[in-house]
Every structure is written in C-alpha cells, then in structure tokens.
C-alpha cells in the first residue's frame, strides 16, 4: 500500500496576484505613513508653534486608540467583511489627511484639528491592522501563509528603517503641510489595490480577528515573534479550510 502523495507546493506567494496586490498596498501605505509620522509633529512645532506639551498630547492621541480599541475591534471586525474594513480604513485616513493642506491654505489649521486627525486615524489603523492580519488567509493558500506573512513583516521592518529618512526628505522638499498629501495618495492607492482583489472572502470562524490581534502583538515583539505570527497565520488558514 503506497503512501499518499503530499500536495505540490503552490510556489512563491507573489505568483498569487491577489497577494501581490495586498502586499503592494501594504508596502505603499507603510512608506506613506512614515511621511505623516514626521510631517504632523513638524506642523505642530514649526507651523502652529505649539508648546512641547501639546506635541506630546498629539502623540498620545495617536497611540491611545491602540489601548482603547484593539481588543473590542477584534470582535467588531469578526462581524464585518474584511475587505470593506480595509478599504474604508484606507479611504477614511486619506480623507482625514487631505484636510490638513486644505486648512493650511485657508489659514484655518489648528492643533485641535491635528488632535482629531491623530485620534481618528489611530482608530482606523487599529481596525485596518486587525482586518489585514485576518484577511491574509483569504488571499493565500495554506502552504503559502507562513512565507506570505513573513513578506508582509519584512515590508514593515523596511518601512521603519528606510521610510523615516525618505519621509524627512519629502517633508523638507515639499513642506510639512503638503507632504501629508503623499500619505493620503498612498492610502487611496492601497484602497484601489485591495478593492481589486478578486478572491472571494470566505465566512470566518468566530474569533478569527481576535486571533489576529494576538498575532499582531506577537509579531511586534521581534524577529522570533514574527516567525510565531507566521505560524499563527497558517493555523488560521487551516481553521478556515476546515
């Protein structure tokens, strides 16, 4: 009696057009985000000339949604189509950022507007990140999940290292109020690419997005954590196929 032949591997995730779109969308928006992370504090300090305390409040408001909404967002995302969450998150963040150069040209830009943008975009990012992690098994086959997740984590690391110098150059070239337009464009491009993904999203098991929260936290802990997160992604893919 011969042993069963294992299924042939599906090859590189980049041979999957839907994953290529998802990876490109993530990479573009990650680099765009680096521009805003530099530009918005520069606007507060050099354009609005606010004191250091208000700059600190700005950073706190951007981070606060991660403390407040990460766990409940996992529950909410479980009840919604992932692609809808991703596209809405991208377009919402683009719209918020687009108000900065408009208000600046009208002479109406205030620190309070930046506060609102920081909090709203932080909240949208929480939902986007969770949906993004739990959406990966939709676009990749089970045997591609580990490598696909590793590719996405590599983009995050590259953007963190290379993106800030590039972001600083963009801010210096165009001026902080207009540099954020590049980030807004990156979000729109990301939304278009994600919307163009053809593979239909399967109904997810309850708790899939909550598991993505755990994977996201583990991935942020370093290279070893990224490897574990990749295994979690593979496990979610197996559960999806069961």
Segment 115-136, tens digit of pLDDT: 999 999 999 999 999 998 888 8
Residue 16: which pLDDT band, with cuts at 50, 70 and 90? confident
Q: What is the C-alpha to C-alpha distance for residues 203 and 182, in angstroms, rounded to an integer?
A: 35
* Range 15-241 classified under CATH 1.10.10.10: no
Q: What is the C-alpha to C-alpha distance for residues 130 and 74, in angstroms, rounded to an integer?
A: 7
Eight-state DSSP code of residue 43: I
Confidence at residue 143, expressed as pLDDT on a 0 to 100 scale = 81
Other residues' Cβ atoms within 10 Å of the Cβ of residue 142: 17
Sketch the domain layout of the chain as residue ranges.
15-241
- Asked if residues 185 and 107 have their Cβ atoms less than 8 Å apart, the reply is no
Q: What is the C-alpha to C-alpha distance for residues 131 and 150, in angstroms, rounded to an integer?
A: 17
* H/E element, 88: helix 82-105
């Amino acid at each position: 009696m011969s042993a069963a032949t294992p299924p042939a591997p599906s090859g590189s995730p980049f041979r999957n057009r839907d994953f290529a779109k998802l990876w490109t969308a993530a990479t573009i928006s990650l680099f765009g985000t680096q521009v805003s992370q530099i530009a918005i504090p520069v606007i507060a300090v050099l354009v609005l000339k606010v004191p250091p305390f208000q700059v600190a409040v700005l950073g706190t408001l951007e981070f606060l949604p991660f403390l407040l909404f990460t766990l409940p967002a996992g529950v909410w995302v479980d009840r919604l189509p992932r692609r809808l969450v991703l596209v809405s998150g991208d377009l919402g963040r683009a719209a918020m950022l687009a108000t900065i150069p408009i208000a600046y040209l009208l002479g109406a830009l205030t620190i309070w507007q930046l506060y609102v943008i920081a909090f709203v975009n932080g909240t949208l990012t929480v939902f986007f990140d969770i949906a993004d992690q739990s959406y990966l098994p939709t676009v990749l086959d089970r045997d591609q999940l580990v490598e696909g997740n590793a590719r996405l984590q590599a983009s995050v690391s590259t953007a963190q290292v290379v993106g800030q110098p590039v972001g600083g150059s963009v801010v210096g070239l165009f001026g902080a109020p207009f540099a954020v337009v590049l980030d807004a464009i990156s979000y729109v491009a990301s939304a278009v690419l994600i919307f163009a993904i053809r593979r239909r999203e399967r109904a997810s098991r309850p708790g899939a997005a909550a598991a993505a929260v755990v994977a996201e936290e583990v991935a942020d802990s370093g290279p070893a954590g990224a490897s574990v997160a990749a295994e979690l992604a593979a496990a979610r893919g197996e559960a999806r196929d069961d």
